[in-house]
Every structure is written in structure tokens, then in C-alpha cells.
Amino acid sequence: MDALSCSPAAITNPRRATLAARRRGLSCLGRRHAENEGPGGRAFLGCRGIGQGGVVKNEIKNAGGQRDRTAIDFSDPGWKPKFQRDFESRFDLPHLKDVFPDAVPIPSTFCLRMRSPTEEFADGYPSDEKWHGYINNSDRVLLKVIHYSSPTSAGAQCIDPDCSWVEQWVHRAGPREEIYFRPEEVKAAIVTCGGLCPGLNDVIRQIVITLEIYGVKKIVGIPFGYRGFGDEGLTEMPLSRKVVQNVHLSGGSLLGVSRGGPSIPEIVDTMEKRGINMLFVLGGNGTHAGANAIHNEVCRKRRLRVAVVGVPKTIDNDILLMDKTFGFDTAVEEAQRAINSAYIE
């Protein structure tokens, strides 16, 4: 995810996580603002479950082609184009310039030499300047590649009773040719929320390394989830390539985790006080609802140029549009081992 271009993304492979940009990003991790309010009108985070974060469960459950069929008139010959337009509108990614029209892009500082061969390295390969390493803003990825002929087919995911084929396209991730943050002005923070998940340290490590490739020098970790924004006794942890070099060899989370936390305004106040203008949130669906609420408070309400980037993390594998979230395979393997042992005994 090209965080410097202010785009949200899902970093799903912990060992090869690249901060890939989706074309229109700006830290909008959901299409709805988490608006649950606690006593005194304050919006509180819910790091466990969708409902606590303020995102209506039915909106998540029914999105991505799994929406309530009663809302679609399949007798209408033009239902497919209408469905596609509705899908695209719900999964379109807001851009920084939607909030800040005067935002001026700069050439990307991402070094293509880190991912492409050069003429000096191997004869016959194009030079770095000629290597096409950036992602075009109009690139799309087909969400579903199997055309099921019948609802009774194994694994069938059908929109209508006849299992008609409907193309559903989503934005392609990858580094963009232009970015909207100057690396020397960025202070990036990483926070891990919810429960522990295999691969957390891998993702933390790769975020830090990739930010350094862009030229970002000020990178910190927020200890113990969102709680680290409200507890004055918890100080942020400086991060660098040297600090995280071997952290992927250890389990758990280098930063620690927790559930819940202070109110949204309190979190944003802390971010503003510390000068954080880029926040990477590693968590599940409830955590991302909170991250979306932070974005709406910091960017749309207070109009501060801050990117909030969501990294799906859950062993439940229950996040929309994701084939597998990191940690899911390990959780299944360990559960299977325990079940087999119990069966043998």
C-alpha cells in the first residue's frame, strides 16, 4: 500500500507485505462512519465485534455481492448494470483530493531498484528508468474468477437464483507514480489492536522497512492498542530497520495488544499533539470500524492531512473481500492438531 499517496489497503501477506496504494485511497477503511456514542456524546471505540465500532452488521454482511436479494428486482432486464454501478459506488475509494482539492502530488520516492533488475545487475534487462514498476490508477482486479453454472455447485456464490455471471472489479494495489506526503515530513505510527495473531511482527517489520524505502525516518509504535493513545504512562516506541530486523522470529506483537480504548476525539487529540500524520492500524472488523471513525474525525471533521491505513488482522477470516487474513491458516492448523490429539487420546 502506497501510504504516502494517502490510500487504504489490505496488507495480507506478512512476509511480502508492500505498502501498496489503491488508486483513490485516503484512509477511508469503510464506507460508513462509526457513529456510536457513549455518555456525554463521545464516540467510543469498539475493538471487539462489528457492532461495537458503529458499523451496522447487515451492511458488512450484505456487501460485496452478498446483499439482501429482496433489494434486487431480478425481473428487471437491466438489473446487472444497476448491480454493478451499486457495487462500484459502495467500494469506490475516496481520495485525498476529495477532502483537500488543493493537494499537490509529488513524484514517488519509492525506489524501483529495490524490486527490479538494472542493466548493471543483469545484461538484457531494461534499466530502472525504463522498468514499468508503478501501478496505473485505472487498474482493476476481478474479484471473482469462477463462473458458477448452478447454485448447487460446490462453493457457489450466486447473486441471483440463476447464478448469472456479473463482473465485480476492485482497485489494484501497488506503488503509485505520485504521492501526497513528503517523506521528511511524515511521522508514521503503527498500532496493533484486538487479540494476538500469528504474523503480527512480520507485518510490523515490513511496514517499517517499506516506509524507510520511501525515505520516512520518523516511525513509532503505539503500545497496547488504542489504549496507548490515552494512557500517559505508555510511551511510543521508536521503530527502525535495526529494531525490527529479527522481530519476525518472535511470536506475539512487539507493540502489545489490547481491546477498547479512549474516545475518538481523545485519540485524535493525541495524534495531533504528537504530530502523527500517518497511522497504520492492525486489527479486525471492530478495530477497522474504529479506524474509520478516526479518519472521519481527523480528516473530514478537523480537516487535518492525516492518512489512516487499515491492515486486516484476524484469525477468524471474516473480513469482507479478503480470501484469507494472515493468521487464519496457522489458527486452523493448531486447532486441527489439538482436535487430532484429543481424538487419539
3-class DSSP state for residue 86? helix
Structural contact between residues 63 and 88, judged by C-beta atoms closer than 8 angstroms: no
How many CB atoms sit inside 10 A of residue 214's CB? 20
Closest CA to 72 of 169, 170, 164: 164
Residue 307: C-alpha distances to residues 11, 173, 180, 267, 280 (Å): 15, 16, 10, 14, 8
How many CB atoms sit inside 10 A of residue 132's CB? 9
Query: What is the distance between the alpha carbons of residues 67 and 84, in angstroms, rounded to a whole number?
Result: 13
Please list the active-site residues: 316
How many CB atoms sit inside 10 A of residue 341's CB? 9
Q: What are 169's strand-pairing partners?
A: 142
Query: What is the distance between the alpha carbons of residues 316 and 31, in angstroms, rounded to a whole number?
Result: 22
